[in-house]
Structure 1
Amino acid sequence: MTALRLERNEARRIAIRAQRLDADRPTDLLDLVRQLTFLQLDPTAAVAPSADLIAWSRLGSSYQPAHLQQAIERDRTMFEHKAQDDPINPPIAMVRSTSDLGLHLAAMSAWPPEGATVDWLQANRSFRHDVLDRLRDAGPLLSREVPDTSVVPWPSSGWTNNRNVTKMLEVLTARGEVATSGRIGRQRTWDLAERVYPAGVDIIPEPEAKRIRDERRLRALGIARAALVGDAGEPARVAGSKLEWRVDPDAVGKPFVGRTALLSPFDRLIHDRIRSEDLFDFQYILEMYKPTEARRWGYFALPILHEDRLIGKLDAVANRKSGVLAVNAIHEDVPFTSEVMAAVRAQIDDLAGWMGLEVSEPRTASRTVRGHKMA
């Protein structure tokens, strides 16, 4: 098949439209999640939790975190899931539309195929049955309400070391036997999957399900590196790029009107750093794991989108006790015009208003352009 030829700005616009970050904003949370295929969950809330930031950046201030909680816990139109097939990152927690559940159940039931997790499950057969029986009798439960009857502890040098109940619950959730029923604060409650997931879901065989998931992933991204979406879409060549691309043919040639948006560090527009650098000339690293003195942009810097370019990062922290959104720096990858700066500041005001905070800029607040501090 002859590859489609795309100019770089067209490729960027395809990506932005696919992620619903153009001026044609969505209005419904469930429709948005179906288009994006998921919202990533992450406990970091230096500004706001990632799933909420991603939804707010598309839906605006009409979105409230309670809407997501209601969809998961009451309406059951969405479910929490830890993906095992992310082509870039290790397994990540996410929220998906329940209508997509049948695309994942076959892969879930076959997981894990091999390795240390299989060995651990085999060594803890009785523990697995104890957990399932406890949930059947008394679920939904917090993990601390489930006794640890493990025979072999989970071997890890990280945070999961000896947290056997939580590990077993997560493994059984990945296998589709247990599901997250809800949350009390940040703590998950767990129950048998049959009491959380709807009955009668058509399970799509894994080869066909994978093909559909690849197509959905590409539709959500618009354009992606070929290695990440299989044979979905059509091959494409982007002017000035040496990479092999796949593009959603339905996204080509559509009108584009851009806007300004503040993005979560986990936003899928910037998730593939190789794509971000190649199409957007945008460098980004999440620096929360770096020492303070080694950070260029801040602990939880928010990428800034303007029209069809990623133009900078916002270093801000929400202090809910004092009721302020502290703006430490606005990093400009290219110099902002007065109009661009006004648009960025309007988004900062919107973000603060959505969270019920006031914007505060301490004396140390700064502007930087490509790393050079501005007066």
Structure 2
Amino acid sequence: MSWFGEKKATKFPKNPVVKKADPTNVELSSPVAIQSTAVGAGEIKWGLEYPAAATEAFTFYLTLDNGTYCLAQMVYSTMGLSPSVQMTLRVYNADKTKFSKTVSPSISSFKVSADKLSVTCEQFTIKHDNGNYKLNFNLGSEAAVDVSFEPVDGAFKVNDGKSLFAQSESDGFVDAKFIPKAKVSGTMTFNGKQSEAKGSGLFVHAVQCKPQTLAKWNFFNLQNASDALMLYEYDMPKGSTNASPCVSIGAIVRNGRTIAVTTSNRAVHVQKELDEDFSGYEVPTQLFLTWNGKTKDSNEDVHVEVSLVQANLLDKIDVLAELPFLLRKLIQTFITAPFLYQWYEDVSAVVTIGKDSFKIDGKAFVECSFLVKE
């Protein structure tokens, strides 16, 4: 998601979750005929011009070897009366301490390079260098992140990258490009104490035009030293005229190579609990995720399953809580109540290619977002 917001945490779920059997008959997202997944050199760039109100975000997810998980995001939005920028840094440490801050600098400080590959905006700089990125997020004495982000096997998109909500771009769309795995190195500093930031990363460049049109999102990012597994999925509201009520994009990285990009997937909310004290949504407490498609090189069938009960809730976020008043009122015109839930879990994924199976074990960041109460 590329919405803005800060954390507002209350206990969830209220009661322990007893795992149920995984579903055996899952309604998958409608598969897309993949003609190409290639992303050209210099293609991941800021667009800044859209046919309707939109958000555009560069988001970096960092899974560090010391147990820390970090999200750094810069968002450019035209959803208000005038363009705006917000930058978010969230850090979750293995000892359960965390840091979260969103800043809203002046739009005049948002400076994009001539080639639109790099950007600087007061405290946050994203510098592109021959396919790699250098991130510098400096919040003074509070926090600083200075890391290099080096893709392991390049970027991908599905065909032209766009998924239309209806018949034309003016009806809304998501345009997404991904780097499913990268090497991360550098430093993080909090309260004057510097530590090494080394591990794996995932990057998403997403333009969401008329994002208020959507109902909910599911996002999954599993990383270990050599492998990765991601899912990027959104649902249209009930009664939508869109031919594809669910759009789902997945990728599997094995030993540093992206072996498959999939579009016939699903994140199933096996068990849910009403979070009536915070959001009013029924939020998943048990998930079952599946990926289905073909390998890139050998065109073999590939199938992946992940089953988990979420036990480590990182954050519950009221998206509107920290927005400027006018933007908040504008979004409320279209959206009942947007909320995000985030977890960080130890996960084991079972991958089957042809007749052979193996596991991908690692730390997974899981996010479920709700935009419209149906």
* Fold shared per TM-score above 0.5: no
Higher helix share: 1
Structure 1 length-normalised TM: 0.28
Structure 2 length-normalised TM: 0.28
Q: Which has the larger radius of gyration?
A: 1
